[in-house]
Structure 1
Amino acid sequence: MRALVITAPGEAGVQDIAPPSAAPGEVVVDVQRVGICGTDLEFHTGRMAYLRSGHAQYPMRIGHEWMGTVSHVGEGADPGWRGRRVMGDTMLGCGTCRRCLRGHQHVCGERQEVGIRGGRHGALAQQLTVPAASLHHLPDALDPALGALVEPGGNALRAVQGADLSPGDRVLIMGPGTIGLLCALFARAAGAEVHLLGLPGPGSEFARSLGFEHVWEQSTLPDLPLDALIDAATSAELPPWALSRVEPGGRVVLIGLADEPSRIDTRDVVLGDLTVVGVLSASPALEETIAAYASGAVGPRPLIAATISLEEVAGVLSGTRPRRASAAPKIHIDPRLT
């Protein structure tokens, strides 16, 4: 089969490799759609922290936002999965430690992460193997595009849940990329007054095209009381700034990661009686995200800029935007395209 392989920083290409076989408890999935995210770009540049910690190493096969159809079922896995359209959890815990047994497999210290950590190959290939226990069925209402947006959507939904929004609450979402815009869509569905903070340029203009009227830069943000802030950006300066802007008794949710450490003053947290929430992984919210997409409560399809072939991925990772791409932030890959 064909698969995208990163062999060193800045070096990636499609290789012909042996197709996978399902180990006991696993399935083989024929991949239909995969999304590229910021983590994939970090592996391509060599900046991803797991490369330094030893949790990941080259060569790497990336891709963790995916959907497809189960084609083979390994020994011990439910044969009923065969032929079903699925997406899968990125975080694969050991299943036996205290965290896993308490339902927190996404923070298991020995976890694998599909296309990211522990040598578990990713989905930028024609086929993928994953544990059957990690699968989530996709209803007919979700086509491949929406199926591959479930994983990032689950991260965004957890961030919005962390903000604990009620109808009429005012929330500021920092960073109008894929996760920030998905947060905005879920927050709007929850009845919140949504404000977005970004840099001038196409990202902010695209956010306005989705019907979000309140899109600001830091210099133009009005002095409004903010009940919650969600940091979906990559600036080390934004978390401490968020603590200074949220209303006393409010909530700050951190889902974006900067290259450098953020320094927050815990006095701001205590004296403001604030709640600060960190979000890692979509795992606990995947089923809710599927339901929200299937019902139409949240419609993320406009976030997809283009769907490309495996052969075009290396160029995108190097910063070349497909000529036919819209202004939307997400690039999808269909490994069946040639």
Structure 2
Amino acid sequence: MSSIMRAFVLTGPREFAVREVPAPAAAPGEVVVDVERAGVCGTDVEFFTGEMPYLHDGHAAYPMRLGHEWAGTVSAVGDGVDPAWLGRRVMGDTMLGDRTCRRCRKGHQHTCEQREEVGIRGGRAGALAEKLAVPAWSLHALPDAVDAVLGALVEPGGNALRAARAAGTGPGDRALVLGPGTIGLLTAMFLRAAGAEVHLMGVAGLDFPRSLGFDGVWTRETLPDLPFDAVVDATGAAGAPALAVDLVEPAGRIVYIGLSGDPSRVDTRALVFKDVTAVGVLSASPGLAETIEAYASGAVDPRPLVGATVGLDGVGAVLAGERIGGAGPKVHIDPGR
């Protein structure tokens, strides 16, 4: 096994290189995964531009190795790890709690104050590389029906599944998703799979959601005056949280999964007078297993969201906003290219 691998290294805002770096070894309790696919996400872009808050509050620092949406095959196991993991196709949780604090013991390890986040927080190297080391306990095995493309969509899908579940809609209900990006579209897919009538609202790229079979795709100006039992904010717009309150039906539910670079303001009096339930979704962690099941069964098929697949040498252009490939909003990285 080679002791050197290629990895995408971010050295500063808009400063990067694909370098040969030491390949990870399997520490006790950990595995090494040969990465087959990794997704690029908005969080990665914020690190690229230098806008990510973790860079300013001490949770992350350059140089860093990005990549938290991934799938691959276990190629080595450390001491204390079941050797049955060897050769297994897997994806893994991004959020790695300390497993000892009160939050972790209550099953909320994704909110652990001391958590590491793969490719994001605490110096834990990410998956934009040929190999990745992660704790064995964070792994989820992938069935044969979930290939590397779907596997690398499990992490964003877990966020979306949780958002859709928090919306609490089903047959006879109407839901509106603000923001038809990757998370918004995945949320819409899970809402539709649960039987809800789903509408989406955005500012651009609205033909693509229609190609996925969503007929109710609108701009703010064209949005019809309909009662929405749930509104999901999957945008990065500072004004969207308040807009969601305006658009939701009394006694409805609002789900916040998008994050703005600027503070958002919501008048809680409006929540009270409309008797609205508002829910925030931070992480995919509690939804990963169910997302894998949904992909394996075909209940949700996110493949069309992947508009392009490039090698490590193409990561910088993707993070810089260069449009690559087809209409789908998600770009995947194949480190073997």
TM tier, smaller:
over 0.9
Instruction: Among all aligned residue pairs of Structure 1 and Structure 2, give the percentage whose two residues are the same amino acid.
Output: 65
Partner of 1:174: 178
Partner of 2:214: 212
For 2:104 and 2:193, the matched residues in 1 are separated by 31
Number of matched residues?
333
Which among 121, 126, 140 is matched to residue 125 of structure 2?
121
For 1:8 and 1:260, the matched residues in 2 are separated by 22
Partner of 2:155: 151
1:49 aligns with 2:46: no
Partner of 1:277: 279
Q: How does 1:1-338 map to 2 (within 5 A)?
A: 1-199=5-203, 201=204, 203-322=205-324, 325-337=325-337
For 2:232 and 2:309, the matched residues in 1 are separated by 29
Cα distance, 1:142 vs structure 2: 0.8
Instruction: Tell me the SS of whatever aligns to 1:75.
Output: coil
For 2:312 and 2:183, the matched residues in 1 are separated by 23
Amino acid at match of 1:56: A
1:265-284 Cα distance to aligned partner (Å, 9 max, x none): 11011111110000001000
For 1:184 and 1:197, the matched residues in 2 are separated by 11
- Structure 2 unaligned blocks of 5 or more: none
Instruction: Tell me the SS of whatever aligns to 2:315.
Output: helix
1:258-310 Cα distance to aligned partner (Å, 9 max, x none): 01111101101111111000000100010000000000000000000011000
- Structure 1 unaligned blocks of 5 or more: none
1:219-241 Cα distance to aligned partner (Å, 9 max, x none): 11111001000000001101111
For 1:256 and 1:284, the matched residues in 2 are separated by 18
For 2:65 and 2:31, the matched residues in 1 are separated by 18
Is the 8 Å Cα contact of residues 170 and 191 (structure 2) preserved in structure 1? Answer: no
For 2:336 and 2:88, the matched residues in 1 are separated by 18
For 1:319 and 1:289, the matched residues in 2 are separated by 28
Q: Which portions of structure 1, spanning 4 or more consecutive aligned residues, are displaced by more than 3 angstroms?
A: none
TM-score by length of 2: 0.98
For 2:286 and 2:82, the matched residues in 1 are separated by 22
For 1:92 and 1:19, the matched residues in 2 are separated by 21
TM-score by length of 1: 0.98
Instruction: Tell me the SS of whatever aligns to 1:249.
Output: strand
Query: RMSD value over aligned CA atoms?
Result: 0.6
Cα distance, 1:321 vs structure 2: 2.0
